[in-house]
């Protein structure tokens, strides 16, 4: 044996180890690939040997090669061999290699199950650790299913090192095997309170990760996390919890209120920037209303942004943009800072700052901000950043329907200035804006047209370098605007000439096509103008010009251009003939383009409702069948009959008609600026066409900064605007002064502080923004963009529902005679195979369950106590703030209640609402609230608020209830049923406090009433007396229900399942609104609305014992009918009775 080992070692001497391999690769820089392929051959030889040391060395080298990009999956089996080595050294190498290259597609992975299980249960914690680490990388659904139970056991390992690893791996297991989440969750929750901070942190990490994807299922953990947040000092944990709260608060607004205080405390106290930042983030998320907090956040963020550390600056801006969404005002005051960041050398920071600008503009500062941005555009060196700036400028200006633009002349000139950008990809964006503004802002058309004419005139500057120059897209817009609104053109002749220049033919085809089309429009309006003024010769001249120049487009390689040009050429030749005969033609020509185009909303087409009886999927013409086989029938099954009819009657459309229609459609499309045509790159084609080749293309040297002659500078508008505003302000002030004089005395200094507000700025000229057209009776948009392939969707599991017996992790037992060897033994748990054993197992499970339940119960009690503590804690703080005012109010309110309803017992359900009184005397009042226990299916928690109404001190309070067969109060162990439970506090005069009592029940299908007594000692100056207060606890059926959200599909399935009993009630004389009615049912009976259509709604709730209750509520004129379905008929009828009672009170 020893000899063999020595021999093995000597063999190894001649093998390369990892270091040799690395060195070798470094020494073979020129022929690295060849060298490595040599090495791989050697490795293959080594893998064939029996010596595990040699094998593991080879695998180690493979891991290195994997990093260099070599596929090593062929060695998967060898890797498994090394993984199963007994020595830790080798095992670790094996697991490392596996973690780098195994995945769900690795077929041999199923061979590892037993090996991993063995390692997981190894006495050596590092074997276990290595196995866990490896597993975290390559766990598959099969492995997850088979090993879930083992890993869950490890969560309670004695070593915290293993516990924390196991906890983290569980997340991966949940992802691959979602069924394991519910059984494992209680233990995971336990780990939140693990004595080891590392394990605690791991548990927080996993739950946060889970909750991030499906926050609503984790709302019930909020109190626990709240406690952790106030107690933990580990910043990692705090950050995770605070992030989690950020995800929970949108679902539970009340949580936000509670969080504000501890979070602001943290913000003020912490020195860790990371924690501060996350606190601010969460405050932003949970504080949608309070202004003061957002100001605090903004102040803190300002400090971050002003910091010299670029990282803090970046994060500050990031968080700022979140505040911006809810509190734009508080961010706007920091405009200076954000504009400063635009100058930062760091592009990430500049981009963040740009994002912020979007929300910061107002009518007042838009021009100024855009001016700054324009300066940056000029300075920007990289095209990507410059393009980003360009899109941002357009975004900022066009946001919410040009809300902030007061002067559209200014905006047009900004757009024109932007056309000076060379090499931008966003020419089409500018073009779209030009079109949009010109079409929708009628008042600006004249100005826009003059600017566009200028652009066309200077087209040679813009389109100087058509290769890869996106900016020439603006010519598309310019040509269209000049053509369409040609009546506004002053020098139409000149523009027409500009459009007919030979240079135009170098533009992309789709732009030329627009040119050609719009030339005619221009021509038509010139013609009309000339004819009206009687200049016949001029009219003929212009016709001649067209005829001379158009042929260059007729020769175009672009089909669209060619077709349009030749059509138009013929048309104009015809016009010329008429002109020679001195027939007035202008009216007719202009009639070609009569009518105005209206802007159409982008989604309008989609929203046109499909007319009744129109089947869009039906064939109009039967598709030519590919094969002769008759098997292939059209897909439509239902409309077969009708279709056949229509097919026969369909009149044959002849070719001509089709062509005509096509042409008409094309014309229509060409005239429609919103019709997007495909733009093939035309450059290549020009080179092939002989006709275009001889056209001289003059390249213009553009080293001199571009300055388009005659273009207005946007800057001048800024000045003008300022002057205008100043004037306006003066006028206003004058008016105000007048008013002041009139109202003297009434108004105080207020006006002197007057600052320009948004509304004060009136637009320069009246702007009539035409809204986009929408089809009549447009359908509501259905923007359902949930990704059905979301892997986290499977983890959307209700965790509050009590565990059913069937929900167990599959347990792999020791090799039974029946279980087959290796791979097959991983098949799902053995349940169906053997009956006698199953019983045994069940028994065992039951026992274990009992143990668990006890544990759980204990925890529940503890938890609630903690809840109480924290709430007490809060109360104390609140007191300071709210003073006695609110207390007094409450008291009076309560008194009011208790006087009225002292004997009547009413109960309600929700957590935070004020419980109603059940009993009161001169000395004390008792109010209570029953709540189903989320963790246990046979318990409810009764929260009782004790209020001292006397002027004496109340102490030694003891609450006792006469148990019924069904419902019993949970008493401490060892006490008899006749003993009361001491209330854990004393009450000074005028104070109230809350205590909770747990009741166990067997059946929940019936309402219960329990009689009880509260005994206490009243102590005052005169001495102490023993007093008693009798009360009744009413456990309605509704109090056993837990509000549970339900999706409509799940709801439908439930109804379809058919194992529900049905019952219904009808209540007349209901006058309240349906909305109100639903709210009442939700509130008093713990239901949630599944779906609501008009005056009909489906509702759902679940009892603590898992009964499903479904309701269909319909409201008629003065009545309401409720149909209920429930797994238990008695429960249902009782629930409906209760509901009837509630509704009849409305």
How far apart CA 483 and CA 437 sit, in angstroms, is 15
- The Cα 80–Cα 77 span in angstroms is 5
> Closest approach of Cβ 529 to other proteins, in Å?
54
Please give the residues from 54 up to 73 whose contact with other proteins meets the rule CB under 8 A. 60, 63-64, 66-71
384 belongs to the binding site for other proteins (CB under 8 A)? no
What is the spatial distance between Cα 668 and Cα 809, in angstroms, rounded to a whole number?
66
CA dihedral 829, 830, 832, 835 (to 10 degrees): -140
Q: Which candidate, 947, 950, 970, 951, places its Cα nearest to that of 960?
A: 970
Provide CB contacts within 8 A for 714, sequence distance 6+: 370, 371, 374, 410, 413, 414, 417
What's the min distance (Å) between Cβ of 347 and other proteins?
Answer: 8
Tell me the closest approach of the beta carbon of residue 84 to other proteins, in angstroms: 16
Residue 13 as a binder of other proteins (CB under 8 A): the answer is yes
Beta-carbon contacts of 440 under 8 Å, excluding residues fewer than 6 positions away, are 599, 769, 770, 771, 772
Asked if 836 touches other proteins (CB under 8 A), the answer is: no
Residue 751 and residue 736 in contact, taking contact as beta carbons nearer than 8 Å? yes
- In angstroms, what is the minimal distance from the CB of 791 to other proteins? 11
**Of residues 115, 142, 161, 1013, which one binds other proteins by CB under 8 A?**
161
Exposed, middle or buried by CB within 10 Å (0-12, 13-18, 19+), for 297? buried
**905 scored as a contact of other proteins (CB under 8 A):** no
- Does 8 contact other proteins by CB under 8 A? yes
265 binds other proteins per the rule CB under 8 A: no
Which of 176, 313, 530, 1085 touches other proteins by CB under 8 A? 313
Q: Of the two residues 91 and 445, which places its CB atom closer to other proteins in the complex? A: 91
Interface residues for other proteins in 738-797 (CB under 8 A)? none
In whole angstroms, what separates CA 529 from the centre of its chain?
A: 58
Segment 77-96, which members bind other proteins (CB under 8 A)? 87-89, 92-93, 96
Gyration radius from the chain CA atoms? 40
* Residue written as token pair 């090192």: 161
Applying CB under 8 A, does 104 fall inside the site for other proteins?
yes
Q: How far is the CB of 22 from other proteins (least distance, A)?
A: 5
Residue 185 CB, shortest distance to other proteins, in Å, is 17
- Binding status of residue 315 toward other proteins by CB under 8 A: yes
Among the listed ranges 159-167, 327-335, 809-817, 892-900, the one in contact with other proteins (CB under 8 A) is: 159-167
Burial pattern 373-390, b for ≥16 Cβ within 10 A else e, equals bbebbeebeeeebbbbbb
Instruction: Work out whether 273 is an interface residue with other proteins (CB under 8 A).
Output: yes
Q: Which of residues 1022-1051 bind other proteins (CB under 8 A)?
A: none
Of 277 and 408, CB closest to other proteins: 277
86/99 Cα distance (integer angstroms) = 18
Tell the smallest beta-carbon distance from residue 433 to other proteins (Å). Answer: 25
Site for other proteins in 180-199 (CB under 8 A): 198
323-382 binders of other proteins (CB under 8 A) = 345-349, 351
Q: What are phi and psi of 258, to 5 degrees?
A: -70, -30
Q: Are strands 1088-1093 and 1096-1103 parallel, antiparallel or unpaired?
A: antiparallel
- What separation, in Å, do the N-terminal and C-terminal C-alpha atoms of the chain show? 92
Judge whether 549 and 598 are in contact, CB under 8 Å: no
What are the phi and psi torsion angles at 1042 (to 5°)? Answer: -115, 125
State the nearest-atom distance from the C-beta of 230 to other proteins, in Å: 19
- Check binding of 24 to other proteins (CB under 8 A): no
467 phi-psi bin (left φ>0, alpha ψ -120 to 50, beta other): beta
Q: Which of 206, 320, 339, 764 binds other proteins (CB under 8 A)?
A: 206
Q: Which of 131, 312, 554, 918 binds other proteins (CB under 8 A)?
A: 312
> Could you say which of 42, 209, 497, 866 contacts other proteins (CB under 8 A)?
209
Rank residues 13 and 1093 by Cβ distance to other proteins and give the closer one. Answer: 13
Q: Give the nearer residue to other proteins in terms of CB position, either 124 or 1020.
A: 124
**DSSP labels for 268-307?**
HH---HHHHHHHHHHHHHH-SS-HHHHHHHHHHHHHHHHS
Q: Cα–Cα distances in Å, from 221 out to 231, 245, 800? A: 16, 10, 10
Q: Determine phi and psi for 198, rounding to 5 degrees.
A: -65, -45
| Residue 218 Cβ vs other proteins, minimum distance, rounded to whole Å | 14
- Segment interacting with other proteins (CB under 8 A) among 311-319, 686-694, 695-703, 926-934: 311-319
Name which of 21 and 1143 has its Cβ closer to other proteins: 21
Q: Are strands 967-969 and 981-982 parallel, antiparallel or unpaired?
A: unpaired
Q: Considering only residues 547 through 586, tell me which ones interact with other proteins, judged by CB under 8 A.
A: none
67 or 616, CB closer to other proteins?
67
- The reply to whether 122 sits near other proteins by the rule CB under 8 A is no
Q: Does 164 bind other proteins (CB under 8 A)?
A: yes
165 touching other proteins, by CB under 8 A:
yes
Closest CB 338 distance from other proteins, rounded Å = 16
Strand partners, 1009: 1034
Count the residues of the shown chain that bind other proteins, applying the rule CB under 8 A: 82
Using CB atoms within 10 A of its CB, is residue 638 exposed (0-12), middle (13-18) or buried (19+)?
A: exposed
Q: Tell me how far apart the alpha carbons of residues 968 and 977 are, in angstroms, rounded to a whole number.
A: 9
Which one of residues 126, 358, 792, 1074 is an interface residue with other proteins (CB under 8 A)? Answer: 126
Contact window for other proteins (CB under 8 A) among 7-15, 107-115, 649-657, 751-759: 7-15
Per-residue binder mask for other proteins (CB under 8 A), 211-250, x = binder: -x----------------------xx--xx--x-------
Contact segment (CB under 8 A) with other proteins among 208-216, 523-531, 560-568, 1107-1115 equals 208-216
The first and second tokens of residue 866, run together, are: 């903690």
């Amino acid at each position: 044996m020893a000899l063999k080992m020595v021999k093995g070692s000597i063999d190894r001497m001649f093998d390369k180890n990892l270091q040799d391999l690395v060195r070798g690769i470094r020494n073979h820089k020129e022929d690295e690939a060849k060298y490595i392929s040599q090495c791989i051959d050697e490795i293959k030889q080594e893998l064939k040997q029996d010596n595990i040391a040699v094998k593991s060395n080879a695998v180690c080298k493979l891991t290195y090669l994997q990093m260099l990009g070599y596929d090593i999956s062929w060695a998967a089996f060898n890797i498994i061999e090394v993984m199963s080595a007994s020595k830790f050294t080798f095992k670790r190498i094996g697991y490392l290699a596996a973690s780098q290259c195994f995945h769900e597609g690795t077929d041999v992975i199923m061979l590892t199950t037993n090996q991993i299980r063995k390692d997981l249960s190894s006495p050596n914690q590092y074997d276990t650790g290595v196995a866990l680490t490896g597993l975290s990388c390559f766990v598959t659904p099969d492995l997850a299913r088979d090993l879930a139970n083992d890993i869950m056991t490890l969560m309670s390992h004695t070593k915290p090192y293993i516990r924390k690893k196991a906890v983290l791996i569980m997340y991966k297991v949940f992802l691959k095997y979602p069924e394991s989440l519910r059984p494992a969750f209680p233990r995971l929750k336990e780990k939140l309170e693990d004595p080891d901070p590392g394990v605690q942190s791991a548990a927080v990490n996993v739950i946060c990760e889970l909750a991030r994807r499906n926050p609503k299922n984790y709302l019930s953990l909020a109190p626990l996390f709240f406690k952790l947040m106030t107690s933990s000092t580990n910043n990692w944990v705090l950050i995770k919890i605070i992030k989690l709260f950020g995800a929970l608060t949108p679902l539970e607004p009340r949580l936000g209120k509670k969080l504000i205080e501890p979070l602001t405390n943290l913000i003020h106290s912490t020195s860790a920037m990371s924690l501060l930042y996350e606190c601010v983030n969460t405050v932003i998320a949970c504080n949608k209303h309070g202004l003061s907090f957002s100001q605090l956040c903004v102040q803190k963020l300002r400090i971050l942004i002003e910091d010299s550390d670029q990282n803090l600056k970046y994060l500050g801006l990031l968080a700022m943009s979140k505040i911006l969404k809810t509190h734009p005002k508080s961010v706007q005051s920091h405009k200076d800072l954000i504009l400063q960041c635009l100058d930062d050398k760091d592009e990430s920071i500049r981009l963040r700052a740009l994002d912020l600008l979007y929300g910061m503009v107002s009518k007042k500062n838009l021009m100024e901000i855009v001016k700054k941005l324009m300066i940056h555009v000029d300075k920007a060196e990289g095209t990507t950043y410059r393009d980003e700036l360009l899109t941002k400028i357009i975004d900022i200006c066009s946001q919410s329907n040009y809300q902030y633009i007061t002067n559209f002349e200014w905006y047009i000139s900004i757009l024109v200035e932007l056309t000076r950008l060379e090499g931008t990809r966003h020419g089409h964006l500018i073009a779209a804006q030009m079109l949009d503004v010109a079409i929708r802002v009628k008042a600006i058309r004249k100005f826009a047209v003059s600017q566009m004419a200028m652009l066309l005139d200077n087209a040679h500057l813009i389109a100087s370098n058509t290769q890869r120059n996106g900016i020439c897209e603006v010519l598309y817009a310019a040509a269209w605007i000049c053509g369409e609104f040609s009546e506004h053109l002053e020098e139409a002749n000149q523009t027409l000439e500009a459009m007919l220049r030979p240079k135009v033919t170098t533009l992309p085809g789709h732009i030329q096509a627009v040119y050609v089309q719009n030339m005619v429009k221009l021509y038509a309006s010139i013609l009309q103008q000339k004819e009206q003024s009687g200049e016949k010769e001029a009219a003929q001249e212009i016709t001649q010009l067209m005829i001379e120049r158009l042929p260059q487009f007729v020769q175009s390689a672009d089909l669209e251009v060619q077709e349009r040009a030749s059509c138009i050429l013929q048309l104009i030749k015809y016009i010329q003939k008429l002109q020679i005969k001195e027939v007035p033609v202008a009216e007719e020509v202009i009639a070609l383009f009569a009518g105005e185009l209206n802007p159409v909303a982008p989604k309008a087409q989609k929203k046109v409702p499909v007319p009744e009886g129109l089947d869009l999927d039906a064939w109009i013409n039967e598709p030519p069948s590919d094969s002769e086989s008759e098997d292939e029938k059209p897909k439509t099954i239902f409309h077969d009959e009708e279709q056949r009819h229509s097919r026969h009657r369909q009149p044959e459309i002849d070719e001509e008609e089709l062509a005509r229609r096509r042409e008409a459609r094309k014309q229509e499309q060409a005239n429609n600026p919103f019709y997007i045509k495909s733009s093939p790159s035309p450059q290549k084609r020009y080179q092939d066409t002989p006709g275009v080749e001889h056209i001289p293309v003059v390249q213009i040297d553009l080293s001199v900064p571009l300055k388009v002659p005659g273009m207005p500078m946007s800057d001048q508008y800024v000045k003008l605007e300022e002057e205008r505003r100043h004037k306006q302000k003066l006028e206003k002030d004058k008016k105000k002064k007048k008013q002041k004089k009139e109202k003297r005395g009434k108004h105080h200094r207020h006006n002197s502080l007057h600052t320009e507000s948004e509304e004060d700025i009136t637009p320069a000229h009246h702007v009539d923004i035409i809204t986009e057209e929408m089809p009549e009776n447009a359908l509501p948009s259905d923007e359902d963009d949930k990704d059905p392939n979301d892997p986290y969707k499977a983890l959307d599991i209700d965790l509050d529902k009590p565990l059913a017996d069937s929900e167990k992790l599959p347990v792999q037992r020791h090799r039974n005679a029946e279980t087959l060897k290796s791979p097959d033994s991983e098949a799902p748990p053995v349940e169906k195979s053997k009956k006698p054993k199953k019983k045994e197992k069940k028994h065992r499970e039951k026992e274990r369950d009992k143990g668990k339940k006890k544990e759980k119960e204990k925890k529940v009690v503890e938890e609630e106590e903690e809840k109480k503590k924290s709430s007490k804690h809060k109360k104390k703080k609140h007191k300071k703030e709210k003073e006695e005012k609110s207390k007094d109010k409450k008291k009076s309110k309560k008194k009011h209640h208790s006087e009225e309803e002292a004997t009547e017992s009413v109960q309600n359900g929700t957590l935070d609402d004020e419980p109603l009184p059940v009993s009161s005397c001169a000395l004390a009042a008792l109010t209570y609230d029953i709540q189903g226990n989320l963790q246990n299916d046979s318990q409810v928690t009764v929260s009782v608020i004790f209020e001292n109404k006397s002027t004496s001190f109340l102490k030694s309070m003891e609450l006792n209830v006469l148990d019924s067969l069904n419902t019993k109060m949970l008493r401490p162990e060892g006490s008899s049923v006749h003993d009361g439970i001491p209330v854990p506090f004393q009450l000074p005069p005028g104070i109230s406090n809350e205590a909770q009592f747990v009741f166990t029940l067997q059946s929940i299908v019936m309402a219960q009433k329990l009689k009880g007594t509260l005994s206490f000692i009243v102590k005052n100056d005169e001495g102490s007396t023993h007093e008693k207060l009798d009360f009744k606890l009413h456990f309605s059926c509704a109090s056993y229900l837990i509000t549970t959200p339900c999706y409509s599909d799940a709801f439908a399935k439930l109804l379809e399942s058919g194992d529900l009993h049905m019952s219904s009630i009808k209540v007349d004389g209901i006058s309240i609104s349906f909305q109100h009615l639903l709210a009442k049912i939700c509130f008093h009976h713990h239901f949630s609305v599944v779906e609501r259509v008009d005056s009909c709604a489906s509702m759902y709730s679940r009892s603590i014992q898992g009964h499903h209750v479904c309701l269909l509520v319909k409201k008629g004129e003065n009545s309401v009918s409720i149909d209920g379905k429930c797994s238990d008929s008695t429960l249902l009828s009782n629930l409906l009775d209760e509901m009837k009672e509630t509704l009849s009170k409305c």
